[in-house]
Structure formats: C-alpha cells, structure tokens
Structure 1
Amino acid sequence: MSIALLDKDTEMLIDSSDGTVLPSVLGNVLHVRYEELAKLSGLKSSSLRASPKAKSTQAKLRPIAQILLRASAMTGSIGLAVAWFEYQPIPGFGNKTPAETVADGYADAVLQHLSDMEEGVYA
C-alpha cells in the first residue's frame, strides 16, 4: 500500500509498507533528472541509481518527500507544492528557496518551517 499525493494523476511517492521513497517518482514529481535529484539530496548520482533503497539514500530522500507531501497538503496541489519548493524565497532562510535550503543540507529547517506555518507562525 502507498500514500498518494493529493493529485489523482500523481504517482505514488512513498511506499507505506516500508517507507521507501522511490527516486524515479520523486524525480518525476520535481521534474528533475537523477543528476539534479542527487545534487538536491546531497548524494552521488551513482549511489542514487545503484542503491535507491539503502538507508543512507533513503535518509536523504525521505525529508524531501515529506516536505512535498506536507506542502501539498497545505496548498491543495502537488503542482503548487513543487512551485513553492523550487521558487518561493523564504526570508528566514536568507531568501533562499526551500529547494536551495535542502541542497545546502538543511531539510530539517524546511520541515520546521512547515510546522511553524501549520501553527500560524511565518518567517
């Protein structure tokens, strides 16, 4: 069984039976190639392809998937969530986008920002 994103035509992102984030699906959702997904997640492209289910790979991909799922729940659309992730500068992140912040290694800060937004606190 898998958790679907809000859009019916969007593929499954996280396999709920084992929590696996599928790199190919995540790349499709973000409209990026493996190389770009590897850079975003802080992984080597070869590692992403060769060991997609490795704990170290999943530890880098899972926060990105969680960010997109939470943002899509807030915006009502995976398309809007991706646009927010890629293009919305956040003052609290030095006007970097969530994607830039994740690429810098601070996915946890983006997740905290989403928690703050859910609680009505804005940066």
Structure 2
Amino acid sequence: MLAAFLDDIREGDMIAPRRMAERLRLPMTRLSRLAHLNRNTMTTHPGSPAVQAKLGEIARIIARAADLAGDEGKAIIWFKHQPLPGFGKTPEELVEDGHADIVIEDLDRMAAGVYS
C-alpha cells in the first residue's frame, strides 16, 4: 500500500507536486499552501530540497495513516476531514498551520496503540 502511494506520486527520484496534488484530490494552489511553498516554485523547481522536504512530510503522513487505516482512501479522508482530539483541527489544517510534527506524533501514538 505504501509502495503504491509513493510510486504514484513520484517521478524518478523525486516527489512530483502535480501527481501528489492529483492523488490527494487537491488543486495545486491548495497543496502549495499546505507545503508553505509558492505554487510557481513547486512547478518550476520540483526537485529543490525545500520542495522535496515539504512534500515528503505530507507524503509520510498520508503513507503512515494509510498503513494504520489499511486503505489509502480512508487515510486521505482522515487527513482532510477528521479533527484530531485535543486540537479541534484536521491533520490537513494542522499541516497548513505548520504543525506536521503534531500529526506525525499522533500517528506514532496510534501505531503504539494509544488512542488520542
């Protein structure tokens, strides 16, 4: 499952912004806001370390959630629509606010069997 998601969003050795946006069913402008990147930077310099680091963070979250949920579609719906307990925001909103680390920590707790 993880391999399928990563294969679909990659071009060569990098994450392709347009493919990731399509897979997450997001417009490029929305993905650029989530990644805290300029949309033009993402499309003209997709291989830059900054672009790859930010997109990699989002990819790790989706892949980890898909691993836990057993389904990529469920992981994407969780990312977009399920507020995290104690934060009142969805993982997508937290990532947009610059708190991807909180989402990753929550996924780590879930993987360890701790309910948030």
Return the TM-score normalized by structure 1: 0.85
Partner of 2:70: 76
Q: Give, in angstroms, the shift of residue 14 of structure 1.
A: 4.4
Output the amino acid matched with 1:3: A
Task: Tell me if the contact between 1:3 and 1:14 (Cα under 8 Å) persists in the aligned partners.
Answer: no
**1:22-41 counterparts in 2 under 5 A?**
22-41=16-35
Pairwise CA RMSD: 2.0
- Mapped to 2, the partners of 1:14 and 1:4 lie a distance apart of 10
SS in 2 for 1:90: coil
Aligned to 1:113: 106
Structure 2: stretches of 5+ with no match in the other structure? none
Q: Are the counterparts in 2 of residues 14 and 65 from structure 1 also a CA contact under 8 Å?
A: no
Consecutive aligned runs of 4 or more in structure 1 exceeding 3 Å deviation: none
CA shift digits 1:55-108 (9 cap, x unpaired): 01111110100111111111111110000000000123x210000000011112
| Identity, % of aligned positions | 36
The count of corresponding residues between Structure 1 and Structure 2 is 115
Pick 1 or 2: higher relative contact order, CA cutoff 8 A, min separation 6.
2
- For 2:94, the equivalent position in structure 1 comes to 101
What amino acid does structure 1 have at the position aligned with 2:3? I
Aligned to 1:52: 46
Q: Is the 8 A contact 1:30 1:82 kept in 2?
A: yes
Pick the structure with more helix per residue.
2
The residue type equivalent to 2:70 in the other structure is G
Q: Which residue of 1 aligns with 2:3?
A: 3
